[in-house]
Structure 1
C-alpha cells in the first residue's frame, strides 16, 4: 500500500545523504476499496466499506468499445461499462514514521472528472478537471501516528445544463471520459521549509532555455519556496545542472529570507559551456536539474530533481519547425490515453510500449489530444526525443442548454486547466506548443452529437480564446500557442456560418478529412495552399487527417464506391489509400511545420457504430489493443523509418474473391522481389512512396503463398502472406456492383465493385449516421439482398479479365418503387445484350430480376452499359465459366 517512490532512488545518485530524507514520497496504490455507485455517507471515517471490492490505483470502472471479432482487443458487449456518474474510493494508510513537524500533501495525478477529498473526516477540498495533477495540504488532518482514512468521491457525469459537471471541460467530444483515480496517488511529506507544492500541480520550479548553441547556453530558473513554519527562515536555494556522467555543468546558490507562513520566488541564470543539445530523436540528451533548499545551518530541507533538455524551438511560415536553429520536420500522430481492457488506467509500461511502437513507425512527434496527458508520456517523450503538442479539453463546445455565452465558471475552469497544463509541463524538453482549443469553429455546421442544445449560429468562440491566449502568454511566453480548426475554407451550404478562429493563436493547425467526411482525397494539398495564402505569416500544420480502417473489412478497389464514414463500409485498404494520397501532398509542402495523422491507436467513443466495431473510433493505424498493426502503419514505417523493411498488404483479406488481383508491398529497400508459390513475379526498384505494386497477378486455385524479399546493402528482409482462392470462387466470379465492400454472399464469396470505368455507385439502403446504423431496404426475388442493395448507374463499362473460354454472364437489377422510368442498353463488344431495357418498377418493396447470357472471351469480358431514356444500372454481375 505504501511504497517509496522511485524518484528518491534517482535523487540519491546526485544528492547528499541528508537530502534523501528531506522529501519523502509514498505511493498509495494498493488496498483501496471502491464503490461503483454513490454513497453519501462514505466520507465518515467509521463508514463500513467491508463489502466494497478491493482495487489498485490507477483504476477506472469504465470499459468502453469492442470489436465484432477476435482481433485487436478483448472487450466485449458483456464486459463494457459505460456508466458515468459518482464513484467512491476509501483507503486506510499509516502515518509515515518520523512525521513530527513535517508537512503532508496528498498528490493526485488525475481524478476524473470532479473529485472531492476527505482525510479522517476532514474535508480537504475539491478539484474540477479530470486530467491535471493536483495537491491538497493534508497536514492538519493527518494523525500524528497510526491509521488514516482517505476518502475520495469522483464524478465523471456527462456535462449538462445545471448538472454537477456543467462547468468542467470537456463539455463534449468524440471520445469517452472515463471515471476514477486513473493515475497514481501519493503522499508527499516535506520539512516546513520546502519547494512550493501549491503550484497548480507543478514542481514549483520553472526552467527556460533563454539561448543555446553548441558553444554555450543560458537557462533561466525560477524556484518557488514556501515557509510553512512559525518563524522567519533564512535559507539559500542551490541550483545545479548535472550532465549524464554526473558532472556539474553549471551551478549557483541564491540566498533568500522568508517570513513565517509565507512563500517567495528566487531566480537565477545558469550559463553552460559547450552544452549537449537536445536534438530530438537523433540525440535526446538530458541533463538533471537539481534544486536544493538549504537552511541556515546547512541542512537540506527539501530537494527536487528533474530531467532537463537544452534546446531552442522556433516556427517559421516558410521554413517550418526549427530545432536548435535547423529545419526539423515534425511527422507525428494524435494520441489518446485509453486502451482495450484498461480504459484510462494505464501504466508507465503501457505508455513506454506506445512510445516504442511509434518510434518503430518512425514518428518523431505526438499531439497529445484532447486534454492534458500524464507525466509518464511527457517523461518518455523527453527521453525518446519526441516533440509534443500539449492541449486543454476545450473541444467543439463551450456552452450548454442553449446559452450563447460561456458561463463565468466555465471560463474560469478553462483558464485553470490551461494554467495547470503549463505549470506541470513547461520544464519538459519535448513540450513545444500549448494547444488552447480543438474544433471550436464548427459554427452552425456542428454535428448532431456535439450540439449540446444549440444551433451554433450566434456562438462566438473568440472572446474565450482571447482570454486563454492571454493566460498562455502570461504563464509561458517562451512557447507558442496553437489551435486546431475543422471548417475554415471548406465548402458548405449558404446557410452555414463558420467563425474564423485561426488568428486567435500563434500557430495554425488544420483538422481536414478530405476523402473521408468531405471532398476528394486529392483536395487536401490545394486546400492547404488556400489556407496559407490567407495568412502567409502564420506557420501552418495539419493536426488531423486520416480515415477509419476495419481489421476484418476489405475491398478489391478503393474507388468502387464512396466510403461510408458513418457506417460499416470502412475497409482497411481505404484507410491506407487516404494515408498514401495525403502523405504525397504533405511531403510536397515543406513549409508545413508539422503533420499529425489521426490517429495512432483506435480509441473509445460512444457516438460511433462503425466498421466492425461498437463505440470505437477506428481511425487508428494500430488497433485498440495497441499491438495489432494495420497496413497503414507499415506504409509510414517504410517512409519514416530508414531501417530496411518490406510488408505485404492485405494479409487479413485472406479468402480472396477474384482470381486476378493487384498485390501491393510497402518496401524501403533498393530492390524488392515478389514470389507466388515459389515463382518470381519480378523485382521492382525504388518504388514511389515506397509502394511497390504488381498489377494483374493471376492467383492459383487453392493456396497462394506470397513472399516479398527486399535487398539492401546489409542483406535481405522478408515478409510472407497466405491467401486462398476457393475452387468455386475461381469458377464463378461475382461482382457486387456499386459496393466498396462486397455484401455477404449466400454461401459464397462476393467481390466488391471492380474493373469498371465511369458511372457512379449508390444504394437502396438508408445510410448510417453517428451511432445510428443504416436501414436496409427490403428486396424481393433474391437471396443476395446485401449485394443487390448497391448498384452502379449512369453510362459505364466493365472490362473483366478472364481466361479464354465460354462464360455464362448473369446481370442482376434491383429496383425500388421510387425509380423513374427510363430505358438503357447493355452491349458486349459488337453484340447488344439488352436493347431499350427497363427493369421492373415495383409498386411496393424493391424487387430483383436477372438476365442471363452466354459470352465467348479470349482474355476479358467487356460489358458496356449505355444510358438511353434513363440511366443504365446494374446491381450484381455473375460470371461463371462453362466447362
Structure 2
C-alpha cells in the first residue's frame, strides 16, 4: 500500500506542477441510480439498483432452480454541453454473460462473455438537447457459443456485476475500444539487477478529418513520484485506422518487483501532447521483474527460486454473488496473505481489475485464465479466442501475472480433436499477444499421455487422491512417477482438496463416502486430507508448485452434497468469510512467518471417547499441552515440523479445558478450547 499512496501523491504533483495540462480525458464512475427488471418470472417490475448488481445473489447460492435468463437495466443520461467535439464511451468491466447496449433505441454495442470488460461508443447516438435513454440487456442463459457453456462447476451470475465507467476523450486519444484495453502496453525484456529494456506501445485513434502532428511522451516515475526517465517522440497520426507507435529505452539498476519481499512499483505516464497541451494521458504500473521456469527445478523470480504455495479463488461471496465491492476483493486477498500463500490461481475466469492491481501491490503471483472449462460444444472457438485476447490486453501491465491459463478439464477422444486444436490455437494467440509470459492448460487426469496435454508451456493437473479417487497418500507415487518419466517437463499441481462442513464434526472420520452425492463431509475429512497431502508436497520440488482448491467455499447451483445445497465446501474459509477452518491454520502454520499456535478439531466440542488424539499446529516450537491443568507429554511428530499429535490423551466427564502454550522469543503464546465429554 505504501507504493500505491506515494505514487498517487507523486502523480498529482507531476500533473499540477505544469501549466500545460488540459483535462481532456475524464473517467467517471457510472454506477448509481440504475433501474432494473427481469423480463420473465414472478416480478418483472422496475427496481432502483446501484452497480455492481446481480440478480442471482440469493437463488444461485441456494438452489438449482435459479433465474437464468434476461435482465434489463436502464438509466438516463442528461445532455452535457462540455461534450461537444468530444468522444464519449461507456466501459463495462463485466456483464453476465452476454450483453446488448442501446442508446435512444439504437444498439451501439454487444458483448459475449461474463468476465472481460468491453466498451461502447455513445458519441454518434447522443442527443445534444434532450435526455438520453440508455438500456442494457444482459442474459446469463448458458449457450454453446459462449464459455463457460454451462453452470455445472460454478454459476455464471447474471447482471452488471462489475463497475461501469463513462469515459470522455478528445477526438485524438489513446484507443478506448481496442478490446477495452488501456491503449498503452509496456513490455520489459532483458531484465536483471543491472538494467532492463522497456518498450512502450501506444495505440492511438485520430477521429479528426486530417492527420495530426503530436508528441508522444512517456515519463517513468519511481514509487515516490520522482521522474526517473522521460522519452519524447514526434508522431504523425493519420485519420484512417488505429495507429500504433513504439518507444524504447533502457533503465539502469532498476528497483525490481520481487513478489511479497518487495512489490516495488514504478508508474508510467504516457501522454499525447499538441502545442504543449496534454490531449490524452494513460497511467500504468510497471513492476520490473523476470520470471523463468527451469524444468525440474521450478519457477524463478529475478533468478531466485520461488516455490509456489498457491490457492485458487472464485469471486463470489454469500449473499453478494459476484457483485463484489473493492473492499470484499481486498478482504479476500488479505485472508490469502494472512495464510502465507504467495500465489493465486484466479479460477476459472478473468476477475476484477482491482484484484489484479491489489495483487501487484501486495506481491502475490497470479495465474490468470479464461473459462474454457468442464465441457465442450465445438462452437466456442471464436469466443474462447475473444476472451483470451481481452484477458491479455486488459491485464498485460500487471507484474503479478506470470501465466495465462488456456483451459481446465476439457477433453478429446483422439489426438487431433477439437480441444487439442483449439488449445494449440489459444497458445499461439497468447504468444502473439504476449511473447514473454507462459501459458498453462489443465487436465483432470493424472496422465501426461492424454491427448489434450502438452499444448502449453506448463501442464497443470488436478489431482484429488483420497476424495474422488484412490487414497490420500497416492499423491506421493503420482509425483515420483512423473518425475521419473518426465524429468524435463514443466508440471504443476493445479488443484487438490477435500470438502469440510464446519457444522458436521466427528471423532471418527468416515473411511468411505460418496464424494458426488454424499451429505456427510465432516470438517475432519478436509483437515486430515490437507495434513497428509501438504506433508507430501513439501518434499517434492519437482513440481513448479501447487494450488489448493479452494480458498473459500463457493456456490455451485447444480450440486447438492455435503449437507448444504448449491455449495462446494472445499474452501479453507466459509462462504461468508466468517470462519477459518482448521485446514486454514494448518497452512498458516506451514507457510506463514507469523507465529501460529492452534488446537485443531476445536469445533468438535461434544465428545464421547475418553481417550483422544489432540492435534496442535505450532511453528514456534514444541507446545506445552495441559488438560484441566494436567500436562500431557506424549506426542508424535506429524507430516511436517509444525505438526504435533498428542496421543491418547484422557478426558474426564463434563467440561475439559485443553490448553497449549509456547514461549517464543521471550513472548508467551497460548491457545485453548473447551471440550465436553458426555
Same fold (TM over 0.5): yes
| Structure 1 position 478 matched with structure 2 position 478 | no
| Structure 1 position 238 matched with structure 2 position 217 | yes
Q: 1:202 to 1:412 in 2, by over 3 A?
A: same
* Pairing partner for 1:709 from 646, 661, 671: 661
* Pairing partner for 1:465 from 408, 411, 423: 423
Partner of 2:351 in structure 1? 373
Partner of 2:388 in structure 1? 418
- Answer yes or no: is the 8 Å Cα contact 1:532–1:540 preserved in 2: no
The offset of 1:704, in angstroms, is: 1.2
**Under a length normalisation based on structure 1, what TM-score does the superposition of the two structures give?**
0.73
Partner of 1:821 in structure 2? none
- Listed as ranges, the matches of 1:397-408 within 5 Å are 397-399=375-377, 406-407=378-379
The DSSP-based 3-state class of the residue aligned with 2:626 is strand
| Structure 1 position 61 matched with structure 2 position 55 | yes
Q: Take 2:199 and 2:47, find their aligned partners in 1: how far apart are those partners?
A: 49
The offset of 1:17, in angstroms, is: 6.0
The offset of 1:423, in angstroms, is: 0.4
The DSSP-based 3-state class of the residue aligned with 2:245 is strand
- Answer yes or no: is the 8 Å Cα contact 1:156–1:178 preserved in 2: yes
Q: 1:88 to 1:276 in 2, by over 3 A?
A: same
Q: Take 1:221 and 1:505, find their aligned partners in 2: how far apart are those partners?
A: 27
Q: 1:642 to 1:463 in 2, by over 3 A?
A: same
The offset of 1:65, in angstroms, is: 7.3
> Could you tell which deviates more after superposition, 666-675 or 123-132?
666-675
Which whole-Å deviations, capped at 9, do the CAs of 1:245-290 have from their partners, x for residues lacking one?
Answer: 1112222112211122432111112321221110001110011111
* Pairing partner for 1:360 from 317, 321, 338: 338
- Answer yes or no: is the 8 Å Cα contact 1:548–1:570 preserved in 2: yes
The DSSP-based 3-state class of the residue aligned with 2:348 is coil
The offset of 1:171, in angstroms, is: 1.1
Partner of 2:76 in structure 1? 92
The offset of 1:145, in angstroms, is: 5.0
Partner of 2:25 in structure 1? 23
- Answer yes or no: is the 8 Å Cα contact 2:96–2:140 preserved in 1: yes
Partner of 1:433 in structure 2? 403
Q: Take 2:9 and 2:68, find their aligned partners in 1: how far apart are those partners?
A: 39
- Listed as ranges, the matches of 1:762-841 within 5 Å are none
Q: 1:19 to 1:82 in 2, by over 3 A?
A: farther
Partner of 1:487 in structure 2? 445
- Answer yes or no: is the 8 Å Cα contact 2:427–2:439 preserved in 1: yes
- Answer yes or no: is the 8 Å Cα contact 2:38–2:45 preserved in 1: no
Q: 1:642 to 1:95 in 2, by over 3 A?
A: same
Q: 1:171 to 1:211 in 2, by over 3 A?
A: same
Which whole-Å deviations, capped at 9, do the CAs of 1:45-69 have from their partners, x for residues lacking one?
Answer: xxxx995110001000103579xxx
* Pairing partner for 2:244 from 249, 254, 265: 265
The DSSP-based 3-state class of the residue aligned with 1:570 is coil
The DSSP-based 3-state class of the residue aligned with 1:472 is helix
The offset of 1:554, in angstroms, is: 2.1
Q: Take 1:460 and 1:487, find their aligned partners in 2: how far apart are those partners?
A: 18
Partner of 1:697 in structure 2? 649
- Listed as ranges, the matches of 1:358-757 within 5 Å are 358-399=336-377, 406-407=378-379, 410-441=380-411, 460-489=418-447, 499-558=450-509, 560-562=511-513, 564-682=515-633, 688-726=640-678
The DSSP-based 3-state class of the residue aligned with 1:168 is coil
Q: 1:51 to 1:64 in 2, by over 3 A?
A: closer
The offset of 1:22, in angstroms, is: 1.9
The DSSP-based 3-state class of the residue aligned with 1:117 is strand
**How many equivalent residue pairs?**
667
Q: Take 2:526 and 2:72, find their aligned partners in 1: how far apart are those partners?
A: 42
* Pairing partner for 1:333 from 311, 319, 328: 311
The offset of 1:473, in angstroms, is: 1.2
The offset of 1:91, in angstroms, is: 0.8
- Answer yes or no: is the 8 Å Cα contact 1:249–1:273 preserved in 2: no
* Pairing partner for 1:183 from 162, 168, 182: 162
The offset of 1:653, in angstroms, is: 1.2
Q: Take 1:457 and 1:269, find their aligned partners in 2: how far apart are those partners?
A: 43
> Could you tell which deviates more after superposition, 139-148 or 641-650?
139-148
- Listed as ranges, the matches of 1:163-242 within 5 Å are 166-172=144-150, 173-242=152-221
Q: 1:337 to 1:369 in 2, by over 3 A?
A: same
- Answer yes or no: is the 8 Å Cα contact 1:368–1:388 preserved in 2: yes
- Listed as ranges, the matches of 1:293-372 within 5 Å are 293-295=272-274, 297-372=275-350
Q: Take 1:554 and 1:104, find their aligned partners in 2: how far apart are those partners?
A: 57
The DSSP-based 3-state class of the residue aligned with 1:503 is coil
Q: Take 1:19 and 1:88, find their aligned partners in 2: how far apart are those partners?
A: 40
The DSSP-based 3-state class of the residue aligned with 2:614 is strand
Q: Take 1:304 and 1:118, find their aligned partners in 2: how far apart are those partners?
A: 28
- Answer yes or no: is the 8 Å Cα contact 2:96–2:158 preserved in 1: yes
Name structure 1 gaps, 5 residues minimum: 1-6, 40-48, 67-74, 160-165, 400-405, 445-455, 491-497, 727-883
Q: 1:673 to 1:683 in 2, by over 3 A?
A: farther
Q: 1:19 to 1:708 in 2, by over 3 A?
A: farther
Q: Take 2:298 and 2:671, find their aligned partners in 1: how far apart are those partners?
A: 36
- Answer yes or no: is the 8 Å Cα contact 1:241–1:249 preserved in 2: yes
Partner of 1:14 in structure 2? 14
Which whole-Å deviations, capped at 9, do the CAs of 1:80-138 have from their partners, x for residues lacking one?
Answer: 97211100000113344521111111100001110000112221021011100110111
Partner of 1:280 in structure 2? 259
Q: Take 2:175 and 2:79, find their aligned partners in 1: how far apart are those partners?
A: 22
> Could you tell which deviates more after superposition, 638-647 or 585-594?
585-594
Partner of 2:112 in structure 1? 128
Q: 1:666 to 1:145 in 2, by over 3 A?
A: farther
The DSSP-based 3-state class of the residue aligned with 1:212 is coil
Q: Take 1:114 and 1:220, find their aligned partners in 2: how far apart are those partners?
A: 35
How large is the RMSD of aligned CA atoms in angstroms?
2.4
Q: Take 2:175 and 2:331, find their aligned partners in 1: how far apart are those partners?
A: 33
Q: Take 2:416 and 2:501, find their aligned partners in 1: how far apart are those partners?
A: 38
**Under a length normalisation based on structure 2, what TM-score does the superposition of the two structures give?**
0.94
- Answer yes or no: is the 8 Å Cα contact 1:64–1:615 preserved in 2: no
Tell me which structure has the larger Cα radius of gyration: 1
Q: Take 2:239 and 2:576, find their aligned partners in 1: how far apart are those partners?
A: 53
The DSSP-based 3-state class of the residue aligned with 1:315 is strand
Q: Take 2:362 and 2:498, find their aligned partners in 1: how far apart are those partners?
A: 27
The DSSP-based 3-state class of the residue aligned with 1:461 is helix
- Answer yes or no: is the 8 Å Cα contact 2:343–2:365 preserved in 1: yes
Q: Take 1:195 and 1:684, find their aligned partners in 2: how far apart are those partners?
A: 65
Q: Take 1:315 and 1:368, find their aligned partners in 2: how far apart are those partners?
A: 20
- Answer yes or no: is the 8 Å Cα contact 2:316–2:323 preserved in 1: yes
Partner of 2:229 in structure 1? 250
Q: 1:145 to 1:215 in 2, by over 3 A?
A: farther
The DSSP-based 3-state class of the residue aligned with 1:12 is helix
Partner of 1:102 in structure 2? 86
The offset of 1:337, in angstroms, is: 0.4
Q: 1:10 to 1:86 in 2, by over 3 A?
A: farther
Partner of 1:746 in structure 2? none
Which whole-Å deviations, capped at 9, do the CAs of 1:340-382 have from their partners, x for residues lacking one?
Answer: 0100000111010000000000001100111111201100110
Q: Take 2:110 and 2:330, find their aligned partners in 1: how far apart are those partners?
A: 31
- Answer yes or no: is the 8 Å Cα contact 1:432–1:479 preserved in 2: yes
Q: 1:155 to 1:215 in 2, by over 3 A?
A: same
Q: Take 2:432 and 2:416, find their aligned partners in 1: how far apart are those partners?
A: 29
- Answer yes or no: is the 8 Å Cα contact 1:601–1:622 preserved in 2: yes
Which whole-Å deviations, capped at 9, do the CAs of 1:189-233 have from their partners, x for residues lacking one?
Answer: 001111111221211111121022222222121111111112211
The DSSP-based 3-state class of the residue aligned with 1:634 is helix
The DSSP-based 3-state class of the residue aligned with 1:420 is helix
- Answer yes or no: is the 8 Å Cα contact 1:62–1:81 preserved in 2: no
| Greater relative contact order, per chain length (Cα 8 Å cut-off, separation 6+) | 2
Which whole-Å deviations, capped at 9, do the CAs of 1:597-650 have from their partners, x for residues lacking one?
Answer: 000000111232111211000000111012310100000000000111111111
